[in-house]
Amino acid sequence: MTPLERQIRGEIEEQGPISFRRFMELALYRPEHGYYRRARDPFGKSGDFFTNSQLQPVFGRLLAQQIARWRDEMGRPPAFTVVEIGAGRGETLQQVRQSLPDVPCVAVEVSSRDLPDSLTGVVYANEFFDALPVHVVERRGGELWECRVGADEKGFQWTSGAAADEVLEDYVNNHAPDLAEGQKIEVNLAALSELGKIGRSMAQGYLLTIDYGYTAREIASGRRLFNGSLMSYARHQALEDVLTDPGGRDITAHVNFTALEKQGEACGLSSLGLKTQAQFLLEAGQPDEFRGALAARNESEARQLRLQLKSLLFGMGETFQVLVQRKGSYTPVR
């Protein structure tokens, strides 16, 4: 048994079944033993999964082109800054910095730490919200119940839990109403908190969220993700079992974009709409017909860049969604 498993079991023995949010928090973020706190790099071919950030320089170049257009729309303010939330290894921000050398670029792990005050510019979160710890609730007998995590001699197990508290009920009623009987959903209170802090810290500019997720309308009455969206990832395999090997696997949950839009509205961020990553990147690259994104020194490099673009548009392009939110009003650049 690992030190992390002993800690989780100890909490369950002391207080009874724990919320999945607590389980996920320990599994991913416990110092030294959590998945994202270990020395091992989880990204790339030798890790557990690929992200947009590994498809460089094309992804960063296209993102930088869109950021440059937003800066023009804002009148090129001298304090314009780019911030990446949850930058990981920093590949994307490094490419943005190379493409926009006159723009300050800042990486922060979570928005509650080191986010500039009165920010003017662009904040982007690429696969950040999906890794925040979540509660799990289920509609049973017309009521909402929280699914919790217990333990027995075989390992960690889901338990029937208890009636959802008022906070969880309010989240579902406001951001995911009309759940079907037996339907499960993740409640990401941390995402609301993080987005609220971003919105309140921003004086003017854009917030860009890139992630996989859904809207409230898409999951209403069990149309999508009837059993919830929790997944774990190990060695490039997607696994539905999220309770085995805590600390040894990534755990994610789809993002509720309806919740992000509503939370943004509450702190002055207006939504410019949700689109696929393919649509967003096509719009970013069309003004120069992708010449900047595909600029290469030789044919071998050009071939590699074209493959990156293809993966971004046709591999991940329809899986990932892009939400753009804005504080302040500007005239779009044509």
- How far are the Cα atoms of 42, 158, 234, 251, 271 from residue 45, in angstroms, in the given order? 9, 32, 12, 18, 35
Please report, for the chain, the start and end positions of each structural domain, with discontinuous segments joined by +: 3-327
Q: What is the pLDDT of residue 315?
A: 76
Cβ-proximal residues to 149 (8 Å cutoff; 6+ apart), any chain: 8, 12, 17, 18, 19, 20, 22, 23, 156, 157, 158, 159, 243
Q: What is the pLDDT of residue 52?
A: 74
Q: What is the pLDDT of residue 92?
A: 93
Tokens linked to 142: 């017309």
CB 316 within 8 A of CB 211: no
Q: What is the pLDDT of residue 160?
A: 84
Pairing of strands 213-214, 184-187: unpaired
Tokens linked to 112: 């509650």
Q: What is the pLDDT of residues 306-324, one digit of tens each?
A: 999 999 999 787 899 999 9
Q: What is the pLDDT of residue 262?
A: 97
What is the Cα gyration radius of the chain? 21
Tokens linked to 280: 């967003």
Q: Which CATH number fits domain 3-327: 3.40.50.150, 3.30.360.10, 3.30.70.141, 3.40.50.12710?
A: 3.40.50.12710
Q: What is the pLDDT of residue 113?
A: 59
DSSP-assigned beta bridge partners for residue 137: 146, 185
3-state secondary structure at position 254: coil
pLDDT in tens, the chain (334 residues): 899 999 999 999 999 999 999 999 999 999 999 998 887 665 555 555 566 777 889 999 999 999 999 999 999 999 999 999 988 888 999 999 999 999 999 998 765 556 878 999 999 999 999 999 999 999 999 999 999 999 999 999 999 888 999 999 999 999 999 999 999 999 999 999 999 999 999 999 999 999 999 999 999 999 999 999 999 998 768 899 999 999 999 999 999 999 999 999 999 999 999 999 999 999 999 999 999 999 999 999 999 999 999 999 997 878 999 999 999 977 766 5
Q: What is the pLDDT of residue 47?
A: 53
Instruction: Work out the angle at residue 209's Cα, subtended by the Cα atoms of residues 48 and 203, and round it to the nearest 5 degrees.
Output: 140
DSSP-assigned beta bridge partners for residue 207: 123, 325
Instruction: Work out the angle at residue 179's Cα, subtended by the Cα atoms of residues 177 and 181, and round it to the nearest 5 degrees.
Output: 150
Q: How far apart are CA 227 and CA 57, in angstroms?
A: 37
Q: What is the pLDDT of residue 42?
A: 57
Q: How far apart are CA 303 and CA 322, in angstroms?
A: 27
Q: How far apart are CA 206 and CA 140, in angstroms?
A: 40
Pairing of strands 213-214, 202-211: unpaired
Query: Per the confidence metrics, is the pTM higher than 0.85?
Result: yes
